[in-house]
Structure 1
């Protein structure tokens, strides 16, 4: 049997390398991958997710366009007392100020690393709240967002916001892969993975009637269960159609890997637009 290829290899796409003056093609992709890692590291430990990044170079100028998604754990209309505001710290760990300081430092490092005269960052930040999710879908997911389940399902609110953006074609597969990777890796207690996967399945089922994409497919394979002898398991979920064999369809695929207390786990995500 022949080995299966990546579904985006045979599809027509724009080549990022445009023949720069003193950058050959291997050096160009090496610099591009390091810029991706540096910008992605600026979002670690915050509620900001890196959705898309595009790097353009013209002579001595590098223009980096970044799409960020800012999730909110609490509602925007939540009333805060005067005492709460007085005791609140001025600079939160997950605030936009921290991200802006990191990105400014990253621009200086990119300028030194590439040796260019000027580096410009253009940031498009998308804010989303739980109230932006339709009310019928929120009612079906109300159990996970209750206050007494805040510690057990700490991913419930921003996970629902992310799934709504995926369904409405406003987020990419890389953002969803980071969310799955982060939560699968952190669920180390027994049977916590089953609760997380049930939450993902119920969330996409509740939002299925609002979808503007043709199809979505998730596959998680590896040792993320407590079965005897460490046997691996495959978990699959799909909504809509996923015509991987049709080359005229626009399909975005993301493959990644993470580690759990039981072993390695592979994540595969396909989104058909």
Structure 2
């Protein structure tokens, strides 16, 4: 059997690299992937998700455009008991000030790694709140966002915000795959994965009437459940159309892999943003 090609390998998409002085192709992809991992590590433990990155190089200057999604994690109305406050482990999400300090150190590391004279970060932040989601959709997912659900509350509120951005075509497949990978890996107890996957399904169903994308598809395959003998399971969910065979469709694809307490898990996310124009220059004599 022949291997399937990556959906973005055959489509004319916008390059992540622009500039007048070019590196050779293998060195460019190595540099871009290293910078991408560096900025993703800066976002760990904060309220920000890396959505897009683009690198521009002009002689001794590197300009890196970064799009960040800033989610609102906790509500001020959340009620906590005295015992919960006394025994609480410090899991407070860090703010923008911590992330900016990390990015300052990332500039120095990028400058030393690439060997350029100057590195500039251009950062665009998209800040989202729960009240930006329409009320009918919030009512359908209100069960997960209640304050007495301490386990589900950790991902329910800001997960709802991220799903709304995806349906509005304001967040990429990289951000959604990062969110799912983070919580598939952290759900280690019995049947916690089922709760998280049912939350994803109900959330996208509630936001389906507000979608501005043509289609969305998620596939999770591997040992992420408590089944005996380490049996793998496949979980799929799709909204709308996903025409992978049509080259004029703009499709974002993200493939990642993570580890759980039961084994390895593969994650695939596809987002179809609709059709795009293909300009073909044909010289006729």
| TM norm. shorter chain > 0.5 | yes
Residues 73-112 of structure 1 correspond to what in structure 2 (within 5 A)?
73-75=73-75, 94-112=94-112
Residues 46-195 of structure 1 correspond to what in structure 2 (within 5 A)?
46-75=46-75, 94-195=94-195
For residues 244-266 of structure 1, the C-alpha deviation after alignment (integer angstroms, 9 at most, x for no partner) is: 11111111111111111111111
Is the contact between residue 75 and residue 129 of structure 1 (CA under 8 Å) also seen in structure 2? no
Equivalent-residue separation in structure 1 for 2:93 and 2:192 (angstroms): 27
Give SS of 1:155's match: helix
Is the contact between residue 68 and residue 126 of structure 2 (CA under 8 Å) also seen in structure 1? yes
Is the contact between residue 167 and residue 213 of structure 1 (CA under 8 Å) also seen in structure 2? yes
TM-score w.r.t. the length of structure 1 is 0.91
Which residue number in structure 2 is paired with residue 11 of structure 1? 11
For residues 45-103 of structure 1, the C-alpha deviation after alignment (integer angstroms, 9 at most, x for no partner) is: 11110000111001111001110011112358x69xxxxxxxxxxxx751100000000
Give 1:150 shift: 2.8
Unaligned runs of 5+ in 2: 79-91, 274-285
Is the contact between residue 74 and residue 130 of structure 1 (CA under 8 Å) also seen in structure 2? no
Which residue number in structure 1 is paired with residue 228 of structure 2? 228
- Is the alpha carbon distance of 1:195 and 1:7 closer, same or farther for their aligned partners in structure 2, counting shifts above 3 Å? same
Q: CA RMSD in A?
A: 1.8
- Is the alpha carbon distance of 1:198 and 1:108 closer, same or farther for their aligned partners in structure 2, counting shifts above 3 Å? same
> What is the aligned residue count?
260
For residues 136-170 of structure 1, the C-alpha deviation after alignment (integer angstroms, 9 at most, x for no partner) is: 00000111111101334310001000000000000
- Is the alpha carbon distance of 1:249 and 1:140 closer, same or farther for their aligned partners in structure 2, counting shifts above 3 Å? same
Equivalent-residue separation in structure 1 for 2:70 and 2:245 (angstroms): 35
Equivalent-residue separation in structure 2 for 1:3 and 1:262 (angstroms): 28
Equivalent-residue separation in structure 1 for 2:259 and 2:152 (angstroms): 21
- Is the alpha carbon distance of 1:40 and 1:248 closer, same or farther for their aligned partners in structure 2, counting shifts above 3 Å? same
Hey, which bits of structure 1, 4+ residues long, moved more than 6 A? none
Equivalent-residue separation in structure 2 for 1:134 and 1:113 (angstroms): 45
Unaligned runs of 5+ in 1: 80-91
Equivalent-residue separation in structure 1 for 2:137 and 2:112 (angstroms): 48
Give 1:15 shift: 4.4
Is the contact between residue 217 and residue 237 of structure 1 (CA under 8 Å) also seen in structure 2? yes
